[in-house]
Structure 1
Amino acid sequence: MAAPGRLLLLSCIAALLLLVLAPNGAAAAGTADGSEEWGYVQVRPKAHMFWWLYRSPHRVDNASTPWPTVLWLQGGPGASGVGYGNFEEIGPLDVALKPRNSTWLNKADLLFVDNPVGTGFSFVEAGNTTLLAHSDAQTATDLTALLVKLYGGGSGAPLKQGSPLYIVAESYGGKFAVTTALAALKAIGQGQLKATLAGVALGDSWISPEDFVLSWGPLLYQMSRLDENGLQNCDKIAQKIKAQLKANQYTEAEASWEELENAISALTNAIDFYNILKDSSSSDSSAAAPLTASKRQAWLRRKSTRPGRYLRSLMAAEEGGLQGLMDTRIKAKLGIIPANFTWGQQDDAVFDALKPDFMKPRIHEVDELLKLGVNVTIYTGQLDLICATKGTLDWVQKLKWEGLKNFTAAPRKPIYCNGAEAAGTEGTQAFLKSYKNLNFYWIMGAGHMVPVDNPCTALKMLGDITQSPAK
C-alpha cells in the first residue's frame, strides 16, 4: 500500500490535470476516478462560492429508491462546511486524513459548501465586505444560484437532474437550510433549478433565539451549574432579550445575547455551551488543548456562535490544526484556491454582515415547508446548551402547521444502534417521534455536534431520512 503522503501527492497531480474552466466561467476540478469534484461558482458579480462534492463508493443504482445527495450546511455564520463538516464531522477523512468509519458517504453523496460567501475558501473580491450576504434571504439566493449551476444539465454537470436532494444543517446552518429550501422550491417551480428537494434536516439549529436563551437558565440550574442567584441573573437578561425581540430591536437583542453568554460563562465557571457536561477550559472539552483565560475572553470578544470545537480548531492554527491542514495539503490538492487567500480569511466579516438577522426567528419558514409537504426532520443533542432541546421543543409548539396537535400526541419510539436492541448492551441511543412529514429525534449522549458525539445513531438517522438504498 502506498504511503498516505504519496497518495495525497498523486491526488493533487490528478486534480491539477483535470483543472478546467466550467461553462459559467468558474474554476472546477476533480479526482481522476470521478469520486470527487470541487470548484467555484460566481453567485453574484465578484462573489465566489466554493463547493466540494464526494460521490459515495457505496452507491446503489435502484430505480425505485434513487441514490440521495446531502447538502451539508454549517453554522456560525461563517464556519466552513468544507473544513469543519467535512474533516471534523461527516466526511470520508478526519483531520489526520485517516478514514472515518462513520462517514455519511455510507448512505449518500455529500456536497459541502463554504456558505455564506466569504466563508472558508469562498470569497468576495478585494475583501469588499459590501459584497457579502447581509441577510439570510441573500444567503438563500446565493445558495440557490449555486445549485442552479451544479444541476445545470449536460454531461459536465456535477449533480444529476432530478436526483433527491436533502439539505442537512447544523446550528445557524438551520436558518440557511429553511430559507434556501423555500428559495430552491421557487426556482424549481419556475423551471430554473432541475432538482428534487426531498427533505430538510435541522440539527441543533438556531431557529428561535428567544426560546433558546429562555431555556438556558433553568437548564443550568437543574444541572447544578447555577444557583438561585445565578438563575435569577440569567433569567433577567433573557427576559430583556425577549422584550427586545418583541419590539424588533434585533441589534440590541444581539448585544444582550452576548451579555447573557458572558454572564453564563462567568457564573458556571466557563461551561462548554456545546456540551453541558464539560467546561470550555477543560482538557476533555471540544478543545485539543486547554483554554487559557485570555484565549477564552478573546473568543467571547469575537461575538461568534461557531461551536466551541470550531473556535478551538481556529485557535489551534498557531500550532497547525485544521487551519494548517486546509492551507497546506488541502489547498495544494484542490489546486484552484487563489494563491494569496487563506482558509477562513473573511469568516469574521461574514458574521458581522449577518448581525441584523442573527436574532431573528425562522419558525415561519419551517411552517411553510411543512405546509408545502416537504419532509422536515429536527434532531437535537441531549447535552447541547446553545440550541438546547427544551428551546427546540418550545419553538416547535409555536408552529401553525395543522398536524402539530397530532404530532405532539404521537408516541416516541426508542432507537438503538448496531443491533443493541436485541443484545441489550448499548442502551437507548435516541428517541423518535413522527407524524406525517415531521420527524423529531432526541439524540442521547450528544452535544451540539451530533455526528461527532453519537456517530452511529447519526448515520442510522441519515439512512432513515434519505431512505438510502445502501446496504
Structure 2
Amino acid sequence: MGRPPGLLAALLLCAGAALGRRLSLDTDGYLGPVQGRSSSPYVFDVRESSRGGPCDPNVRQISGYITLREHTTRYFFMFFESRRSPETDPMIVWINGGPGFSSMAGMVLENGPCRVANGGKETEINSHSWTSKANGIWIDQPAGTGFSTGPLISSTKRAGELLSQFLHAFFGKYPQYNRRVFLAGESYAGQFIPETLMRIRIDERAGAKPVIDIVGIAIGNGYFSSDRVWRSYPRMAYESGTAPRRVSAAQYNSMVAAAEDCVKETPSCLTGRLSCQALYDRCSKKLIDPISDAKWSIYDLRVKCGPFADCLDDRPIRAYFNNPTVQKAIGTHIGWKSSNENVTAAFHIRELFSTSAEKQLARLLAEGISVLLYAGDQDFLCNWLSVLETAEQLDWPGKSRFASATESPFKLSSSELGATVRTVERLGGLGGLTFARVVNASHMVPQDAPEAALLLMNDFIGRARVRRPQLLKGELAKQLRSPKPLSFGLASLKASSLSLMEETFTEAMFSTKVFK
C-alpha cells in the first residue's frame, strides 16, 4: 500500500453534530472588499464586516487573502472577533495539519464559530467555539491547501517561513489583535507550530515587525517524532487502557518487533543510506495496515469504516464552501476541498522522520513559552501514548518534575470526567508544560469533545504567562538575543544557568476553574 495521506494529514471522520441556532446564507450587512497594502511587500484583498457576516453574524469578521513577499503565494484566512470582549481578549491562531488539510474544515467541524448544517445549505452557531472568550483566525496553509494558492513547497521549514510572513503581515495591519497570542493546531501542526514560532523569533531578531506577543502554543494529537509514533502503535492497538483492542496477541508481538526495526532503520533514512519512502512503506504495512485492513478507523478505534479517506464524508462542507454566495461573502472564487493530496505529496518523505519538533518544543519551553499538548484517547494515528512520551522526554529544565508529576481529573460542567491532566509550571505561571488526555475523543478532539476542548483551552489561556527574553539573565538571555541562528536544545547553556532556571519551576496540578 502506498503512502496514505493519514500519517501526514488530519483527514476528517464524519461531520459532527452542530450546536445552537441555524443561520441562513444571507450576508446582508457585509461591508465588502478592502484592498491594499498594510506595509510593503504584503498585499491585502479582504472582506470586512462589523456585523452580519457568514458563520457568526454577531461579531466583526475579516476574511480573504494576504499575498506574501514573493507575490506568488496567497494565503486565505477567516478571522472572527471574540464574542466576549474583543478589545481585551487574547488571540488564537489555528492551523490544521496535513500538510494539505484546510483549516476552514477544522473551523466548521471543530472549534470555529459555526457548524455546517442541512447538507451545506446553512450553518448553526457553535456554542463551544474557541471564539467564546478569544479572538480567532483560521489559516489555510501551505499554498494549495483549501483556498490558498501559490507554488507547492516541500519542507516544514519553508512552511514556517511563509506562515511567519503571514502573521507579521496580519498583525501589522491589525495591531489591535496582537495581544496574548496563542498558536494552536493538530496532527502535523505538531511540526508546523514549533517551526513557525522559531522562525518568527529568527525573523524578529533580524528586524521583522511587529514583534508578535506569543504567549503559548496548543497542539492536539500532534505528530512530533516517527520513533515515538512507531513504538506507540502496538500498545495503542492492543492494550492502551482507553480504546478497544483491535489486534490479536500474535499481531501485537509482530508489531512490537516491527516497531523496533523501524526505529533502528530511521538513522539510515536520515543519512541517505536507505530510502525513506521504502522505510515508510514497510513500517506502514506492518504497523498501520493491521488496523486499516480490518476496517477500523485509524482516527477513532471505536469506528468501523473503510481504510483512510473512506471514513471521510466532506460533502456538506464542500457544498458550503463552494456555494457562490458564501464565496462572495468571504472573498474568494476558487474551488475548495478539505484536503489536497498534491500538497501532501509535495512534502519530502524525509520530513516524516524529522526530530526537530521535539528539540524546538524544548527550546520554547526554556524560553518561557507555555505549551499545552492534548490528545483524544481513541485516536490511533497520532495517539495519546506517543504524545505523552513526547511530553515526558522533552529536554528542558522541568523534565524531571514533569515525569514525576501525578495526573489530575479535569471535569466538565456536568461534573463528568473530561480529561486527565498533568502539568509543571514556572513560579508565577511564566511558561510551563501541560499534557491532557481527553476522554472519549478521537483525532479531532474539538469535534468529539467540544466542551472539554473549550474548557481546557480557556483554562490554559487563563493561566499562561510569558517572560520576555530581556527579563532573563545570564547565558540564556545572551543566546536568546543573539542575531545568529540558535542551536536547539540546552546543551550549550552553562550549568549555573540551568540550575537557576530549574529553581524557578514548581509542580502544580491543573485546576478545574475555567478562565473567566
AA aligned opposite 1:140: G
Unpaired segments ≥5 residues, structure 1: 125-130, 282-290, 301-307, 421-425
* 1:359-370 paired onto structure 2 within 5 Å: 359-361=353-355, 362-370=357-365
Deviation at 1:148, TM superposition (A): 1.0
Equivalent pair of 1:253/1:359 in contact (CA under 8 Å): no
Indicate the residue corresponding to 2:99 in structure 1: 77
**Alpha-carbon contact 1:38-1:51 (below 8 Å) kept:** yes
1:231 aligns to 2:255 (yes or no): no
Structure 1 residues 120 and 257: alpha-carbon distance in aligned structure 2, compared to 1, 3 A threshold: farther
Residues 299-319 of structure 1: per-residue CA shift (max 9 Å, x gap)? 48xxxxxxx5xxx134xx3xx
Shift of the 262–405 alpha-carbon distance from structure 1 to 2, 3 Å rule, reads closer
SS at match of 2:295: coil
Q: 2:74 aligns with which of 29, 34, 48?
A: 48
Partner of 1:349, secondary structure, is helix
Matched, 1:181 2:194: no
Deviation of the 1:464 alpha carbon? 1.2
* Residue 123 of structure 1: aligned partner: 149
What residue in structure 2 maps to residue 271 of structure 1? 296
2-side partners of 1:204 and 1:448: how far apart? 6
| 1:355 equivalenced with 2:348 (yes/no) | yes
Matched, 1:151 2:171: yes
Deviations 1:127-170 (A, max 9, x none): xxxx2221111000000000111111xxxx23426411100111
> 2:420 & 2:49 partners in 1: Cα distance?
40
Who is 2:156 aligned against? 136
Cα deviation, residue 375, structure 1: 0.8
Cα distance, 1:106–1:346 mapped onto 2, change above 3 Å: closer
8 Å CA contact 1:450–1:458 kept in 2: the answer is: yes
2:49 corresponds in structure 1 to 31
Closer, same or farther: CA 253–463 of 1 in aligned 2, 3 Å: same
How far the C-alpha of 1:90 sits from its partner, in A, is 0.8
Q: Aligned partner of 1:275: which letter?
A: D
In 1, Cα distance between equivalents of 2:178 and 2:338: 35
**Gapped regions of structure 2 (runs ≥ 5):** 1-20, 52-58, 118-122, 426-431, 464-513
Q: CA deviation at 1:379?
A: 0.8
Letter in 1 for 2:299: Y
* Residues 391 and 435 in structure 2, CA contact (< 8 A), matched pair in contact too: no
Match of 2:394 among 376, 380, 399: 399
- Please tell me whether the aligned partners of residues 313 and 323 of structure 1 are also in contact (alpha carbons under 8 angstroms): no
2:187 to 165, 168, 171: 171
Residues 193 and 431 (structure 1), Cα distance of their counterparts in 2 relative to 1, 3 Å cut = farther
Question: What pairs up with 1:427-466 in 2 under 5 angstroms?
Answer: 428-436=417-425, 437-466=432-461
Deviations 1:250-306 (A, max 9, x none): 333332344246522355x21111111222x1xxxxxxxxx5xxxx47x48xxxxxx
Residues 240, 373 of structure 1: alpha-carbon distance in 2 compared, 3 angstrom cutoff: same
Partner of residue 384 from structure 2, selected from 382, 389, 395:
389
1:381 shift after superposition: 1.1
- Over the residues paired in the alignment, what is the CA RMSD in angstroms? 2.5
Larger deviation, residues 88-97 vs 182-191? 182-191
Identity over the aligned pairs, expressed in percent? Answer: 20
Aligned to 1:93: 114
CA positional deviation for 1:370: 1.0
- Shift, 1:377, TM fit: 1.0
Q: When the two structures are superposed, what TM-score results if normalisation uses the length of structure 1?
A: 0.81
Shift of 1:237: 3.5
Distance apart, 1:238 and its partner CA:
2.5
CA contact (8 A) 2:217 2:371 kept: yes
**Count of matched residue positions in the alignment of Structure 1 and Structure 2:** 412
Are residues 1:328 and 2:323 paired?
A: yes
Counterpart CA distance in 2 for 1:470 and 1:238 is 41
| Residue of structure 2 equivalent to 1:286 | none
The aligned runs of 1:210-225 (5 Å cut-off) are 210-222=227-239, 223-225=244-246
- Letter of the structure 1 residue corresponding to residue 300 of structure 2: N
Sort the Cα spacing of 1:186 and 1:202 in 2 relative to 1 into closer, same or farther, 3 A.
same
User: For 1:275, what is the secondary structure of its paired residue?
Assistant: coil
Deviation at 1:85, TM superposition (A): 1.4
Superposed CA deviations along residues 376-397 of structure 1, whole A, max 9, x for unmatched, are 1111111111111111222233
Contact 2:34-2:44 within 8 A present in 1 as well:
no
Give the corresponding residue for 1:112. Answer: 138
Of residues 390-399 and 365-374 in structure 1, the stretch that sits farther from structure 2 once superposed is: 390-399
